[in-house]
Chain A
Amino acid sequence: MTQSFDMPLPSESAPAEATGGEASVTTGTESVHTAKTLAESKPPTDEEVLRVENLSVDFPTDDGVVKAVRDVSYSLREREVLSIVGESGSGKSVSSMAVMGLLPRSARISGRVLYRGQDLLAMREKDRRSLRGRKISMIFQDPMTALNPVHTVGDQLAEAVLAHSLVPPRQARERAREMLDLVGIPQAAQRLRNYPHEFSGGMRQRVMIAMAIINNPDVIIADEPTTALDVTVQAQILEKLLEVKDAVNAAILLITHDLGVVAGLAHRVLVMYAGTPVEVGETDDVFYRTRMPYTAGLLGSIPSMTSSHGERLRPIQGTPPSLINLPSGCPFAPRCPLADATCRSSEPPLAPAYNPGEGGRRSEGQEDTDRYTEHLTACHHWERLASVEDPTTFFRNGGQNP
């Protein structure tokens, strides 16, 4: 009954013995298994599916123009997981809504969003709408904003299928049930008749995920997909996302502030601050060879699972700049322990975090793969971070070298 879908169902990629129990993450009978990790999933291919170039978004408001996104560029390959992290309000959601074409009319968007070479921003609305939801799908941060409260979950899922393919409603409904099953909602067939408010927060998020993968997309933009879930369900869902990615060769743009999730799931990381990327690189580079003070501050403010009680957490002091009146110079300067006069007068460009000719990491004529391995930072003083063991100490000692 699924032949009409041009891509294999995620569940078909699993061994065929999964009969009644597709809902569970594994097909075995063991009630415990060890989670699959990113290393065990298929590596990215060299095929670029999405490229965002110089994307900027402004919102005119009564108080002035909110510069929500400034000059964001990135590429995504098939089967790649790119994670966007950053300050709350730094433009992570707005930049991905721009990719989806879901921003309010008041938004002023510039730049290019290339899906397999076609510019989505230049496309007619009708064509874009047919791609959206089918080839590029999104899992939203607030499930209630994306689910319609007056329609049952089953109707909404079936509608998502019917919007893009000519199948009998019955079949769309069956597909809906299968997807609910897949994301681990018990008694999926009955649950189709429920309204969104009858689900818990976490279950609503699973419905969103079901909705996002129901048409076998190429790009899944997941905005805080597991924030509402407990960690055991989170582990299941993330594993599921990895399976889906491999089954349909989808790329995943994962927006999250959970650096633990990033550590386990992302090939690369893009850190945003005040609407713009401030550090980009492979996950290990960003975590272990941090070259931007804001990233270091983030890593330093995580409560540890081992610290003793009563210890104060260490947030980055101060608040992010107003996006209406951005300070001149580096947007992080008012909060940065390393800031000096240079920082306050000129905004650092996003540039390689190594000196020309340094490090045998790359050779001539490798530009294309470089795009996926390079480590970029927007900081005048990244070398000072490179010179110390643990850059988070700058936040504790007022910017002195330890």
Chain B
Amino acid sequence: MTTTRHESEERHEAAPALLEVDDLEVRFPVYGSGLLRRVVGHVHAVSGVSLRLAERETLGVVGESGCGKSTTGRAILQLVKPTAGSVRYRGEELTSMSSAGLQRVRREAGIVFQDPYASLNPKLPVNDIIAEPLKVHRRWRDGGPERVAELLRLVGLSPEHGNRYPHEFSGGQRQRVGIARALALEPRLLVLDEPVSALDVSVQAGVVNLLEDLQERLGLSYVFIAHDLSVVRHISDRVAVMYLGRVVETGTREQVYESPSHPYTQALLSAAPWPDPRQERVRERIVLTGDVPSPVNPPSGCRFRTRCWKAQEVCAEQTPELTDRGNGHPVACHFPD
């Protein structure tokens, strides 16, 4: 395990990235209240996000809820159309690809959705849900049923669960069904949107171990979106912190967790709860106040300035770019630590 990690760090420098996202932008129209529901503005869900993912690497993505993590994940796989920017998977541009081409790419690049209930067809038993990608991509004939049973086992469900419908499962069980389905085609790249957030800590530990094993065995790469900072710290090689549609800090796990430089990252790490009642009772925790700004009218300059305790005038005037200060740990702040 340690050796593959090490290799992956070297490869990050040398090999071409498996996934390259540049200046990705996604906007959603906002409608007025009149009968015609005219477009009166846009939600700037993702505003210029750039990411790199090397093979066998895990990129953790954390950030404020509503900051565009899921939208970024979906836009990578072209499940929502980016408004601008480029997404290259193994050098191929996806934003302009034909739907036949995309179907081919989706065989190797899958997604586990955040909301397991909304993303599983309620009318199908779980066996059929997991079989669906196998059928769509013509892999059902060679040992389909066995493969489904194996996938259920892999995520810690028993074959008896296969005949049940999504509403007959607990939240955590549904999330595992989503993971099993995504693994059905043996992908090379997985976008995991909150894959363990509905799981109890023991099952969560099992799924994290499973993802790590698969990565080692099959050379998978992950974009791992999550709120649980200790899980992200555990699984990620590199971490990107997002705030209101932008990446505000990125670096290796150690850089981000041990020397967080953006005020938002600092607040985030400070707010993470610890499973220790005595400590939790006395711990000083930064709680951000002020309104979470609207992505329809994001603040000028630095988008975090309305809640930042270090904000100066310049923060309202100039947008801080994500700049590397020579240590491979870029931060978008005029006054980074």
Contacts and interface: CB of A to CB of B under 8 A. Distances in A.
Contact of A88 (B2, B173, B278): B173
B275 interface: yes
Contact of B253 (A30, A145, A309): A309
A234 B274 contact: no
A339 interface: no
B262 interface: no
Contact of B230 (A28, A39, A304, A316): A304
B281 A264 contact: yes
Nearest to A238: B273
Interface in A91-110: 92-94
Contacts of A87: 200, 202-203
Given A230-B63, A302-B230, A200 B70 contact: yes
Given A287-B276, A310-B1, A231 B205 contact: no
Given A87-B200, A88-B173, A231-B272, A24 B289 contact: yes
Contacts of B185: none
B64 to A, nearest CB: 5
B287 A30 contact: no
B180 interface: no
Nearest to A229: B65
Contacts of B205: 301-303, 313-315
A284 B277 contact: yes
Interface stretch (A70-78, A128-136, A170-178, A252-260): A252-260
A351 interface: no
A261 B117 CA distance: 24
Given A260-B274, A287-B277, A309-B253, A231 B289 contact: no
B98 interface: no
Contacts of A184: 291-292
Nearest to B229: A231
B48 to A, nearest CB: 18
A200 B65 contact: yes
A263 B279 CA distance: 9
Interface residues of B, number: 84
A228 B268 contact: no
B322 interface: no
Contacts of A190: 296
Interface residues of A, number: 89
A401 B114 CA distance: 42
A205 B123 CA distance: 25
A203 B171 contact: no
B293 A322 contact: no
Contacts of A24: 289-291
Interface string B189-219: 0000010011111111110110010000000
Nearest to A152: B33
Given A227-B197, A260-B272, A319-B156, A63 B66 contact: no
Contacts of B137: none
Interface stretch (B103-111, B160-168, B313-321, B329-337): B160-168
A37 B293 CA distance: 26
A305 B229 contact: yes
Contacts, number: 246
Interface string B291-307: 11110100000000011
A148 interface: no
B290 A31 contact: yes
A316 B271 contact: no
B227 A234 contact: yes
Contacts of A343: none
Nearest to A196: B118
A193 interface: yes
Nearest to B227: A230
Interface in B115-162: 115-118, 156, 158, 160
Contacts of B291: 21, 23-24, 184, 186
A86 B198 contact: no
A63 B273 contact: no
B52 interface: no
A35 B287 contact: yes
Interface in B64-85: 64-67, 70
A287 B235 CA distance: 25
A284 B67 CA distance: 36
A229 B277 contact: no
Contacts of B311: 31
Contacts of B116: 142
Nearest to B64: A230
B28 interface: yes
A37 B28 CA distance: 38
B211 to A, nearest CB: 11
Interface in B32-79: 33, 43, 62-67, 70
B318 to A, nearest CB: 20
B13 interface: no
Given A32-B287, A62-B163, A257-B201, A186 B292 contact: yes
Given A61-B168, A186-B294, A231 B271 contact: yes
A228 B194 contact: yes
A190 to B, nearest CB: 8
B187 interface: no
A232 B277 contact: no
A239 B274 contact: no
Given A144-B115, A232-B267, A303-B233, A88 B199 contact: yes
A230 B170 CA distance: 22
B66 A144 contact: no
B231 interface: yes
Interface string B218-257: 0000000001111101100000000000000000010001
Contacts of B307: 31
11 contacts: A25-B287, A25-B289, A34-B287, A89-B173, A94-B170, A227-B197, A230-B67, A235-B271, A257-B199, A302-B205, A303-B208
Interface of B: 1-2, 5, 28, 31, 33, 43, 62-67, 70, 114-118, 156, 158, 160, 163-164, 168-173, 194, 197-206, 208-209, 212, 227-231, 233-234, 253, 257, 267-268, 271-282, 284-294, 296, 306-309, 311
7 nearest CB pairs, A to B? A202-B65, A88-B172, A260-B273, A200-B66, A313-B205, A315-B205, A259-B275
Interface of A: 21, 23-26, 28, 30-35, 37-39, 59, 61-63, 85-90, 92-94, 141-142, 144-145, 184-187, 190, 193, 198-203, 205, 224, 227-236, 239, 257-264, 283-284, 287-288, 297-299, 301-305, 307, 309-316, 319, 322, 324
